[in-house]
Amino acid sequence: MDYRKKFVVEPESKVDLARADPSFAGKYAGEGEARAELDARCERLAKMQYLLYADGTQSLLIVLQGMDASGKDGTVRHVFRDVDPQGVTVRAFKQPTPEEAAHDFLWRVHAAAPGRGQIAIFNRSHYEDVLVVRVHDLVPKELWSKRYARIVDFEKNLAQNDTHILKFFLHISPEEQLRRFKQRLEDPTRQWKIAESDYSERGYWNDYMRAYEAALEKTSTERAPWFIIPSDHKWFRNLAVSTIIVDTLEALHMHVPQPHVNLADIARKYHAADAKGSLG
């Protein structure tokens, strides 16, 4: 299955999240059937990340958005489990600090964009400024409604500077979210993750869906596409996300660069010295 084609939000298309099945799992009846394929994707991702790092001319930005418990943290842990941490950064965008709040909403985001050869993962992102801000009426509509165009321009600027952008909306059902909250309550090692707001925010579910639909419709572009990823099954979420990332990187046709030194001269000089018993 071409996950990229199936889950992409086409530019200027209408989004109705009620018609997107969060429990979709493709041809698989369960996690066991998909495990080998997921392992292969993660191993391939590690190799592609090495090429991206070695090539050093392009970068990759991955945006993860979704309701609480949709699996943003889990996606990072499982999909990127095999990559070299030297080539990957993860940034979680929470409530702005006083310094960040004193600047425009994209200021802190631009500073976290990936450099060439790097992968940057945003666990929540600049999209919070058209999601929670909209749902809770934190700023006037006149202000947040203009941010969609600014976001598109921002991402266009990154793309023009050789940053490839993939944005994933991790789509879960309210029933699955509640089940995951219950698991956290019952697991002493995860109880620290529970906050009262997790439950109170459920009352705004429909408002969040409308806010997400607007964001997906207004900001999915060819250079920075959104993907609606069914996420009720964690293993399928990981498989779909990893496949789309790998397919994107493979399409760059990267190669290990040629060495910048004369290997023959180095081999002749230092191997000759070692043969004489000298390390100087």
Q: Is the separation of the CB atoms in 235 and 34 below 8 Å?
A: yes
Residue 220 corresponds to which tokens in the numbers above?
Answer: 């999915």
pLDDT of residue 186: 94
Residue 160 CA to residue 220 CA, distance in Å, equals: 16
Hey, is 46 helix, strand or coil?
A: helix
Write down the CATH number for the domain with range 3-275: 3.40.50.300
Cβ–Cβ contacts within 10 Å for residue 219, how many? Answer: 23
Q: Three-state SS string across 29-43, please? A: CCHHHHHHHHHHHHH
Q: Could you state, in chain order, the average pLDDT of each consecutive group of 10 residues for the chain (280 residues)? A: 96 97 96 96 97 96 97 97 96 92 95 97 97 95 97 98 98 98 94 90 97 98 98 98 98 87 79 58
- Among left, alpha and beta (phi > 0; psi -120 to 50; other), residue 200 is alpha
Distance CA 27, CA 193 (A): 33
Distance CA 201, CA 266 (A): 63
Instruction: List own/partner pairs for 34-41 with CB under 8 A and 24 or more apart.
Output: 34/235, 34/236, 34/239, 35/235, 37/239, 38/235, 38/238, 38/239, 38/242, 41/239, 41/242, 41/243, 41/246
With residue 115 as reference, give the H or E element that holds it: none
CB 234 within 8 A of CB 241: no
DSSP, res 27: T
Backbone angles phi, psi at 29, to 5 degrees: -85, -20
